[in-house]
Chain A
């Protein structure tokens, strides 16, 4: 997985009826966009390190230079 700052991380629900979770990549800790990432989750602004697994995807956005 590769991501850029500002991209959206989406974790799919693991059980029927469980919602998707999403957060914003605010820092890339790996090289060349590789994980781990620092992600800000939801609307509370809490941050964590994130190590994506097969349940996660990244939504890229165009970044102005």
Chain B
């Protein structure tokens, strides 16, 4: 599976000069927990709801402060057509909870650990279902092949 096919939610981006207040309002209005900070076409940071709490509210930062002052950098990126297993490796190696998915240098979306866990849980459910049925209902052998 390609990484871009595992993206579950739309991506929302802001300019570096938009304010912390705007970032918070946009999170509320679009239902996302993180925003890509985009300069030109390039993603230069990610700002999360956690960033707003820890780096803005807890430090009494003005709501009119620029969002690039509270964003998380550097951004760990993954190509949109990369195999999803590459995303697993990046999460493991960089200890982040989200990756910016890019097409060339252009941001196209965000993939999170939650997205991967949901897919994994569904896959595990598919694998466990026949075993569960066998445990509950017993094993049904097919008829042996006819012998001469």
- Which residues of chain A have a CB within 8 Å of any CB of chain B? 11, 13-14, 18, 21, 23, 35-36, 41-42, 44, 46, 48-56
B26/A48 in contact, CB under 8 A: yes
Cβ of B69 < 8 Å from any Cβ of A? no
A48/B9 in contact, CB under 8 A: no
B13/A51 in contact, CB under 8 A: yes
- Chain A residue nearest to B29 in the complex (CB): A41
- Give CA–CA (A23, B25) in the complex, Å: 13
A46/B25 in contact, CB under 8 A: yes
Q: Which residues of chain A come closer than 8 Å to B38, judged between CB atoms?
A: 49
Cβ of B63 < 8 Å from any Cβ of A? no
The number of residue pairs between A and B whose CB atoms lie closer than 8 Å in the complex comes to 63
- Give CA–CA (A35, B9) in the complex, Å: 15
Shortest CB-to-CB span from B81 to chain A, Å, is: 16
- Chain B residue nearest to A56 in the complex (CB): B10
Type the 1/0 row for B9-36, where 1 means its CB is closer than 8 Å to any CB of A: 1111110000000100110011100011
- Chain B residue nearest to A29 in the complex (CB): B41
B12/A53 in contact, CB under 8 A: no
- Chain B residue nearest to A42 in the complex (CB): B29
Task: Select one of A21, A23, A42, A54 contacting B8, CB under 8 A.
Answer: A54
Q: Which residues of chain B come closer than 8 Å to A23, judged between CB atoms?
A: 29-30
A55/B13 in contact, CB under 8 A: no
Q: Which residues of chain A come closer than 8 Å to B36, judged between CB atoms?
A: 49, 51
| Known contacts A53-B7, A54-B7: A41-B30 contact under CB 8 Å | yes
- Give CA–CA (A36, B22) in the complex, Å: 19
